[in-house]
Structure 1
Amino acid sequence: MGEWQNGLFGCFSNCGVCIMTYFLPCVTAGKNAEAVGKGCCLWGFLSILGPIGIYTRAQVRQLIREQKGIDGSFGMDCLMHWFCGLCSLIQEANELGAAQAQSMARE
């Protein structure tokens, strides 16, 4: 199994994503969900609903980990979004963005 390409506290490696997530975390959550096959608007909206948001964002994080072959557990995903929610969203967005940039470079 692998590791995250972007660290949890590497928020400023992509300032655009960092600023967007700080002011509109539901947009980043929705885009992350859309990248793993979930509905952007629904999952973005659910992400702001307290405990439901933590649960739904952790589900998306789990899907990203499975897609990328990254070690972890759903329980840890929940804890990440409970204590470091914005940093987790940014880490996921950067991970998905890095994968998209690599696939575009191969084309």
Structure 2
Amino acid sequence: MGEWKHGLFGCFDNFGLCIITYFVPCFTAGKNAEKHGESCVVYGLLSLLGCIGIWSMSKIRGMTRAQKGIEGSGINDCLVIMFCAICALVQEGQVSISSIRLCRETRLQWWRQGGGTIAPRRGRR
């Protein structure tokens, strides 16, 4: 099983995400949910509703763990969200950002190795 790429208190590994999450945590909660096919608006709003917010953010954290093969449990997710929600939201957001960067780097490497050629457009001018 895997581990989180960034630690729970690695908030400042991505300072921009940290600041956004500090001031508008519902935005980050919604964006984390959206990456799993859930509604950004619904989960962003749910994150504001006390116990329901803890449940919804724990659910998305569990989905992130399952997708990335990270060990943990629902109870652990719930406790992390209860006592350190902002750090947990940033940690989850960083997982998604790391995946996007890896995809970009892989495409760039493929392009540099001669895998990409641009075919001329036909028909339209």
Is the counterpart of residue 3 in structure 1 residue 7 in structure 2?
Answer: no
Aligned-residue CA RMSD (Å): 0.6
* Residue 57 of structure 2: aligned partner: 57
Instruction: Tell me the number of residue pairs that the alignment of Structure 1 and Structure 2 aligns.
Output: 107
* Residue 93 of structure 2: aligned partner: 93
Mapping for residues 1-107 of structure 1, pairs under 5 Å? 1-107=1-107
Where does the alignment leave 5 or more consecutive residues of structure 2 unmatched? 108-125
Aligned counterparts of 2:100 and 2:16: Cα–Cα separation in 1: 16
**Higher RCO, 1 vs 2 (CA within 8 Å, ≥6 residues apart):** 1
Relative to the length of structure 2, the TM-score reads 0.84
Q: Residue deviations 1:10-43, cap 9 Å, x none? A: 0001010000000000000000000111110000
Relative to the length of structure 1, the TM-score reads 0.98
Aligned counterparts of 2:60 and 2:105: Cα–Cα separation in 1: 25
Structure 1 segments, 4+ long, off by >4 Å, are none
Aligned counterparts of 1:104 and 1:45: Cα–Cα separation in 2: 31
Q: CA deviation at 1:50?
A: 0.5
Aligned counterparts of 1:73 and 1:51: Cα–Cα separation in 2: 18
